[in-house]
Amino acid sequence: MIREACVNEGTETSGQEIRNVRVLQRFLADVPVEMHVLEAAPGRASLIARVRGTDPTAPALGLLGHIDVVPVDPDGWTRNPFGGDLIDDEVWGRGAVDMLYLTAAFATVLREVALAPEKPRGDLVLLAVADEEAGGDYGLKWLLQQYPDIVEVSEVLTESGGMRMGSHVAIGVAEKGSAGRLLTVQGKPGHASIPYGARSAVFAVGEILQQLSQAVPAAELGELWDAFVTARIDDADLAERLRDPVRLDTAIAHLGGIAGYAYAVSRVTISPTVLRAGSAHNVIPGSGSVQLDIRTLPGTSDDDVDDLLRAVLGPLADETQITHLRGWDATASSTETPLFAALERAVEAVAGAPVVPIMAAGGSDARFFREIGVPAYGFGLLGPAWSYERYREGVHGHNERIDLTSISLSLAALRRIVAERIGAAA
């Protein structure tokens, strides 16, 4: 799948995940599974493969893996990013961590269950979907709208889990929401050779950026925060400060590589990402804009985001048009479910480590299932050296690669979960 280079640039014609669908079809050929290939647009294909269970009242376990990858800068790589090379027990390539190793593991266990001498009690469903990296419009979002019966499951395992948090293994049970905004300001255009009397929108954009650079949204410590601090922080004094919203921000500076994650999951974040003003070097632009990536916590409404922006902008708010871009609410799944309990037992059995539930700072396709009431968890079981920091470096970074030990651990834990949940000994 790495070698098929299904690079998703966010356009309708990119991705071309049909190539990875064909890889999976070949892998599952002559295996007794129900397979559907569904295209939201030419080449934007997803594969749904189901092993039917014998008990219609048993769980239907979905294994949700995306088959698209983000673009690469080849100059930053020391090996071919689409070579899929096995070097020193590591598989190299774009998507190795995010998340083709898991999609491959999901397909492997589905094949084992399908070939087992006894049928499982419940359904096992591989959901190998397109377009996760650009929001799912050509992938799971479309599938749930157009083919809900084909993708129907009662519980889901997907990405964003398995990294080590101290002596614990992190399992994703929640993720932040997104509330993108476009801020537009007006100036007074004119010829650049006679700037007197004109007011460049570039300066207005600069004033907005200055306000945003000084903004530090207040910390809001949710129910997962304490578990994160307990798992990751050994220093008792530092842990106490992290649990205090008043002292939190000074404490975060002492967290090293995990500081960025701690900051992100403890508040709403606002990141300017795209600036636009002007089109010709000799014209003073009359309008300008700033695009914001805003990530929200559970319970944060669109009105809350707009109120926050107006507070940050201060007097500039009256001169700024705020336009809502694409967004979605933060989502979470309860840790009081049979699937989460099975996850805990599997990780303990394979790795001898307890689980810590965490919130992901970014988004994934898990939200689409959570939004319709289906519990979804970020799964994986990476090797002991895979701290959260190492995991984040691998996701979308240069020289992305995954070691065989992590793949083996993830497979071992997955086999246990599948056997417990749907009664199949893979």
Concatenated DSSP letters of 29-50: TTSS-EEEEEESSTT-EEEEEE
Q: Is the Cβ–Cβ distance between 379 and 193 less than 8 Å?
A: no
149 vs 40: CA distance, rounded Å? 16
Q: How far is CA 3 from CA 24, 113, 398, in A?
A: 13, 26, 16
159 vs 306: CA distance, rounded Å? 31
Token pair for 320: 């700024």
pLDDT in tens, 314-341: 999 999 999 999 999 999 999 999 999 9
Q: Taking Cα atoms as reference points, which of 422, 407, 420 lies closest to residue 108?
A: 407
Q: Is the Cβ–Cβ distance between 96 and 398 less than 8 Å?
A: no
Number of residues that this document lists for the chain: 426
pLDDT for residue 424:
56
- Cα R_g (the chain), whole angstroms: 23
Q: Which residues of the chain have pLDDT under 70?
A: 424-426
45 has which bridge partners?
Answer: 39
Consecutive H or E run containing 325: strand 320-328
φ, ψ dihedrals at 175, nearest 5°: -150, 150
Consecutive H or E run containing 367: helix 366-371
291 vs 271: CA distance, rounded Å? 8
Which pTM does this prediction carry? 0.94
pLDDT for residue 426:
46
Domains and CATH numbers, the chain: 2-175+330-422 (3.40.630.10), 177-328 (3.30.70.360)
Token pair for 71: 């673009």
With tokens 């960025």, the residue in question is 260
Token pair for 276: 């636009």
User: At residue 256, what is the residue type?
Assistant: G
49 has which bridge partners?
Answer: 35, 126
Q: Is the Cβ–Cβ distance between 361 and 265 less than 8 Å?
A: yes
What long-range pairs does 215-220 form, CB within 8 A, spacing at least 24? 215/270, 215/312, 216/249, 217/267, 217/268, 217/269, 217/270, 217/308, 218/245, 218/267, 219/245, 219/248, 219/249, 219/266, 219/267, 220/245, 220/266, 220/267, 220/268, 220/297
pLDDT for residue 394:
87
- Cis ω for the linkage preceding 99 (within 30 of 0): yes
DSSP, res 92: E
9 vs 68: CA distance, rounded Å? 10
Other Cβ atoms within 10 Å of 327 Cβ, number: 15
DSSP, res 126: E
Q: How far is CA 374 from CA 10, 36, 157, 162, 298, in A?
A: 27, 21, 11, 21, 17
379 vs 144: CA distance, rounded Å? 21
Token pair for 138: 């050509």
Q: Taking Cα atoms as reference points, which of 64, 133, 160 lies closest to residue 359?
A: 160
108 vs 171: CA distance, rounded Å? 21
Helices (H), 128-179: 140-146
